[in-house]
Amino acid sequence: MTWVRHRGLTRRRAVTTIAACLLSAPAIGARSAAPQRPSIRLRRGMNLWPWFSLTREFLAPRTDYDWPPFQLDRPIPTRADLRALRSSGIDFVRIPVDPGPLLATGGARHETLIRELLAAVELSNAQNLSVIVNLHPNNATHYWNSDNLVATRTAPQFTRYIDLVHELAGRLSRFDPARVCFEPLNEPPQSCTSSEWPAMQLELLRAARAGTPRLTLVACGACGAMIDGLLRLDPRQLDDSNIIYTFHFYEPYVFSHQGAPWMSTEPMYRYLNAVPWPASMGTKEKTLAAVAARMAADHATSAADKKEIGATIRRVLDEYFDARPDKEFIARYLDRSKSWADQHAVPREQVLIGEFGALRTDERYVAAASSDRARYIRDVREACEAAGMPWAFWNLFDGMGLVTDDRSREFDPGIVAALGLRAVSMQ
């Protein structure tokens, strides 16, 4: 299954308290030649996965892709979709790009893929949308994944990844720096306390900066770009002021990722259902009933495994309903990113929530749960805007999408309202 969002376990199991201090290592390397501040202005954004994702890689031991490398039936945005996003109030898009096909191909095919990406940027700009181009390794692939690309500086393909960052930055340098910026890596896999990530990110940013002296670059902390990673990021070590800092927000995962089919190592998520938001809007008994119904529909998992998973779910739900998370929980969480920005004199408009959102609840097992999702999305969006930080919703398509389904492409009116956008007609 290539509809996989690689929410690494390190992000969910990472320590969630504020670190006593940030990294204290001295700045690495010499001063940069890019002192300017970002000229791009971001406010409300939309992620456009899987425009350049969902691939057709061959099985091991091969490391190449079919041609074209992307699944032909994947949903991709049309000019009309982009125009509707702009009309609704979205002012920028984030385009995730799987680096695998770019690294696995050469010659004319490589050039074709680069030109298609540049055309997507042009198309978005033509609809008055600014663009973040984001290199987004896919951990569902057996070879061109984070482990082989960016796990360490000695990863098998890290040098080639650096070369791709430099090349892509150079190709993007033709665009107006007020309309396009470049994010060299999505969700670094290193632990929150990684001593290697600061040096690796510096190398990535220097490769990008060598290719594009003017475009704004996007940096993040380790551990999947979560807030705990951001808190350990010292901007002085990056030695570049033309940067936007980003983090992703999906807390609490018990709500935002309920029903997630891709979390194979944590099977409880695929059974979670009817988890309310805020917690006070439902009951543990109702949620457990929905979980039981979902488990009963699964005839492939053994009774023994279900019993073990069920015990984990009951423990997690005990914690969730005891904690009673709500919009104040979100505001307190985001206060940490505000404090980080203020501590480092980073303007808050340069701190971006690059992803946030929640999966739709499976309403075969519970009715009218879409209102919980809308409340959660509204609470995150409002907390972000109150903090003065831009945001990018995940996603236009898929189970976390703005659209009601990928075929009709109609915007979900509840999510439109939750995001504070204007209703638009897709006719």
Q: What is the DSSP string of 267-302?
A: THHHH-----SSGGGS-HHHHHHHHHHHHHT--SS-
**Extents of the domains making up the chain:** 9-15+36-256+326-418, 268-323
CA dihedral 43, 46, 51, 54 (to 10 degrees): 120
What stretch of H or E contains 248?
A: strand 243-249
Give the max Cα distance, the chain. 62
CB within 8 Å of 288: residues ≥ 6 apart: 313, 314, 317
pTM of the entire structure? 0.91
Q: Which two tokens stand for residue 70?
A: 């992307």
Of the pLDDT bands very low, low, confident and very high (cuts 50, 70, 90), residue 298 is very high
Architecture of domain 9-15+36-256+326-418: Alpha-Beta Barrel (3.20)
pLDDT band for position 427 (50/70/90)? low
The predicted-structure confidence for 145-175, as pLDDT tens digits, reads as follows 999 999 999 999 999 999 999 999 999 999 9
Q: What local confidence, expressed as pLDDT, does residue 360 receive?
A: 87
pLDDT digits (tens, 9 = 90+) for 244-289: 999 999 999 999 999 998 888 899 999 999 999 999 999 999 999 9
Residues 99, 164: contact at Cβ < 8 Å?
A: yes
Please tell me the predicted confidence (pLDDT) of residue 137.
98
Backbone angles phi, psi at 356, to 5 degrees: -160, 160
φ, ψ at 271 (rounded to 5°): -95, -20
